[in-house]
Amino acid sequence: MKRGILIALLSAAAGGLTAYAIVNTMTKNQILDAPATDMAQFRTVNLSHENWPDFTYAAESAVDAVVYVKVTSTQTQQQAPSSIFDFFFGFPQSGPQQRERVGSGSGVIIREDGYIVTNNHVIEGATKIEVTLNSNQTYPATLVGTDPATDVALLKIEATGLPIIPFGDSDKLRLGEWVIAIGSPYDLRSTITAGIVSAKGRSMPNYTGEFKIESFIQTDAAVNPGNSGGALVDRAGNLVGINTAIYSQTGSYAGYSFAVPVNIVKKIAYDLMDFGSVKRAVLGIKMAPIDDKIAEDLKLSSRNGVYISEVSESGAADKAGIKAGDVLIAIDSTDIRSTSAVQEAVSRYSPGDKAVVTVIRDGRTMKFDVIFKGTSQDNGTVADDGSVAFYGSSIKAASEETLAKYGLKSGVEIVELGPGKLMEAGAAEGFIIQYVNDHPVKTPQDVIDVVKKSKRTVFIEGVTPSGRTGYFGFAV
């Protein structure tokens, strides 16, 4: 009798433990699919607590690096006649009226010494720019440079020890991944909204015909006027994009917002810091999406890639051996699925950089080593007036009159100083360059040739506009 009771108790305990284990397992594993079949099949996934959408760390660590940008611009308006008599009898008017217009947007601090990224359309036409930190400190800002093609601009304030948002990797963003947008919509400072990555590589209709590079990250995080130039941040608190646009018929958020990927922003920002302009790589092709006819004619197994309709003579693609009729499917490790993906991939390179371009030709996969060429903004470009582009500035062989003024036999004059390494190093317009890294120079080409051979730094000696001996240097 006792033995039977003991066996019954042990059986009950074993059954309870089994039931507990099953319930505990089902609690840890989410049931995602339960097909209604004769033999039920389940697909389960384990989600740790780190994968749930908790944005407290990302929000608190990034919000101090997002700033409010106030922009003042001047507009000229023609004053209308004050009465019908003024209109018909031509009584004198006070003339055009100057009026100030104030706008706002957002920006992101990317370096502790005051470099801030925002949108070009936020500061376009500005006569005065002010930046207010999350701590309510306000600074005047100078415009370092802009790139309308990507809608990116770079500002600088005179401050140190500022909070920053570290760069992430926008290529690693996944569809459905959580992100947060930080900015100042409708002057509501430091507003944080959340959403998911809805799509990647988006482009929008271009009705103006301007050159654009668009491969936006699309999210459903709420973005409104004033968010432009603000941060798109992943759950780890890394900057993955700069919020730029919304798609709406009303001008307010309607479920879609777009951000410039940080991998593009980073390259643009560093170019503007170093050169004052963007050193844009050029592949030298015209392309079209793969449609059904192209796929059928070329017997393609998929619609991935882009069709190369034309190759520029002596361009980077042409010199590498790429031909019209090829289908471009990859640039280095980046798979190409659209024309915007090509633009995004190429925009990360600088002139002179190398990449492996993969194409399909006559059913075969072929790889080509490409050395990207640049645009007319590169060092050494000769302008109509004979001056030569040099790190965002212009240089020219000093005239005989100028040389006589300073008692010199030869030299190269800085005829125009623009944002870039020369300006940052303290150079001035009218400075006569005599030596570069101890090498005497007589022409702009001499200057460029010496700089090309420099591996680390450039040291320039010459005469200042006041006639004194001067020098400055910068890293290359």
pLDDT tens per residue across span 28-47 = 444 344 444 455 566 676 66
Instruction: Output the pLDDT for position 110.
Output: 96
Q: Which whole-number Å values give the CA distances from 168 to 30, 152, 242, in the listed order?
A: 30, 17, 12
The answer to whether 317 and 285 are in contact (CB under 8 A) is yes
Mean pLDDT on 306-310: 92
Q: What is the mean pLDDT of the chain?
A: 83
Asked if pLDDT for residue 51 goes beyond 80, the answer is no
Q: Annotated catalytic sites, by residue? A: 121, 151, 228
The answer to whether 73 and 100 are in contact (CB under 8 A) is yes
DSSP string of 16-74?
HHHHHHHHHHHHHEEEEE---SSS---EEEE--GGGS---HHHHHHHGGGEEEEEEEEE
Asked if pLDDT for residue 4 goes beyond 70, the answer is no
Instruction: Output the pLDDT for position 32.
Output: 42
Task: Provide the pLDDT confidence category of residue 253 given band limits of 50, 70 and 90.
Answer: confident
Which residues on neighbouring strands pair with residue 367, listed in sequence order? 358
Higher pLDDT, 206 or 161: 161
Instruction: Output the pLDDT for position 263.
Output: 93
d(C-alpha 229, C-alpha 166), whole Å: 16
H helix count then E strand count, the chain: 11, 28
Asked if pLDDT for residue 100 goes beyond 60, the answer is yes
**Tokens 């190093």 sit on residue:** 425
pLDDT tens per residue across span 67-80 = 999 999 877 665 55
d(C-alpha 184, C-alpha 122), whole Å: 12
- Indicate yes or no: pTM above 0.85: no
Task: Provide the pLDDT confidence category of residue 92 given band limits of 50, 70 and 90.
Answer: low
Asked if pLDDT for residue 420 goes beyond 80, the answer is no
Asked if pLDDT for residue 383 goes beyond 60, the answer is yes
